[in-house]
A and B are shown apart, each in its own frame.
Chain A
Amino acid sequence: MSVQRSAFIFAWILLLPAVLYVLAIVAYPLVDTFILSFTDASLKKTTNWVGWVNYEKIFNERFAEVIIRTFIWTFFSVALKMVIGTFGACMLNAAVPGRSLFRLLTMPPWIVPMAIGIFMWGWMYNGQFGMISGLLQRFGLVDGPVAFLAYGSTAFWATIITDVWIGVPLVTIYFLAAIQSIPKDLYEAAWTDGAGRWYRFRRITLPLMVPAIITMSMLSLIATFNSFDIIWILTQGGPSGETTTMIIDTYQTAIGSKKYGEGAARAVLICIFLSLFCFAYFRVTRRLNPEKRA
């Protein structure tokens, strides 16, 4: 047996357990979702093939509105993560005493189980007694208590802010690493030429961060699009559906109302969007580092 061949076999022995596991628990359910989406599966014993009915239903109902809302929700959440992450990374990159402590202090939202952080936000948003409403009143910015989760427009933004809060630590650390990998001599050259700090940031730091920002916004886009826990714990999609995103709606249809077939059709639609994002992600990352494969 040649060396090449033995290496090939060994590599596959190493890969096989992980590959088989993912095939069984992710790929098989994916196929199952697709098949289910053409049936009227529910709690009933019998299941019939119904063709495109579930898909037609999706577009006849309020789902178009849900899709648009999902994209707006995702867009603002990702944009805010990028802006706050860039700001945080620049601040934490500054050579001031205590910075390693400050870097450590950005981690908690990422480390703590998501649900716990969300419970804390739930209290912060509490209209009668929460901190945000309380402080706004104390400083005379609002007249009475503001129940953020009780009204569609404020609940929409409240869920976005919480999503941003959970995503910011990872974005910040990633951007910090990106800033630190910028060659120091660029700054030195600019400095020698008399460029000020703001000018150096605008002309060196920011342009060289662009690949990191693009990569991270793609990854963040996918995570945010899939976001379930935050909305579910804070509002369950309410009030009157104003925070219902595609994931929430799919969950309500499939698990809440036990309409498996209709839920599956929604899930397939989500998968199509996610595949498009993946495709875009691969294209973008390949363009950003053309010398590397995959």
Chain B
Amino acid sequence: MADVDREQWLHMYEQMAKIRAFEEQVNELYTSAKMPGLAHLYIGEEAVAVGVCEALRRDDYITSTHRGHGHCLAKGAVLDKMFCELLGKAAGYCRGKGGSMHIADQDTGNLGANAIVGGSAAIATGAAFSSKRLGNGRVAICFFGEGALGQGVLYESMNMAQLWKLPVVYVCENNLYNEYTHHSESTAGSMKARAEAFGILAVEVNGQNVGEVHEAAQQLIARARRGDGPAFLLCHTYRYHGHHVGDISRAYYRSKDEEQEWKTNRDPLQSLKDWLTANGMADAGIFEQIERSVADEVSVAVNYALNAPFPAPEEVSQHVFA
């Protein structure tokens, strides 16, 4: 595994545990009708966001997807502002105007979650263009699901990124399903070869193994920062829940056995726990401690958000223009 010390491993575990606890709380808020709109849960995919973001500087850029809570948290977002945004409260990251699918935070380099599949491919590429032009050494990460492989703008962006050697890493989270359709029904040929056709270095990893994701991300990000151009990181992962929280009857597109197999045998948190324990770097007590403290943090944050005020009516017409 990657050259990471014990403290960093535990930090990565904590980040993954935080995303999971946050998402479980979101599920509860949604099913108890406390949260408006839609909720697309990231549970099961935590190792991708954390493995990648752990290799970034705070001022590096990310763009995210409609399943973006994990990316935001992994890049440094704080729980109370996240919950406030999801509940449409004024203290949210976007003053309640973006919601779950549009969280952005300039302070952590988060250029925004995007509800158009593939919608941020060009934006991330543009951020990389700025970084190169301004010479500030920043790298842009473009997170997207395998469903975005059907969007032409992704390939237009990759073409320009490779022509102009832009510091951008396209991180494809292949969670197998384009909403409710298996990728084999939507995506012809090889996913990796799509990037390779542009001469872009493409690497494929087990997205349930945070160490593997992190090691590859470190290399690709360092390479981009050096000026060696874009890369494509294909992460094989799985979303435990449906496309969104309301997607409960899933039998027509995937089996319970398949879901059980991933949850039981390929869970990213459990895998890291097992590996750290087997290597004598941690024991059950440490994990329990982390989980307890994360649960407390989540509970304080959600209570804060539930009691926080909504935006004042006059805010509705603010921020149309800069």
Are A and B interaction partners? no
A interface, CB within 8 angstroms of B? none
B interface, CB within 8 angstroms of A? none
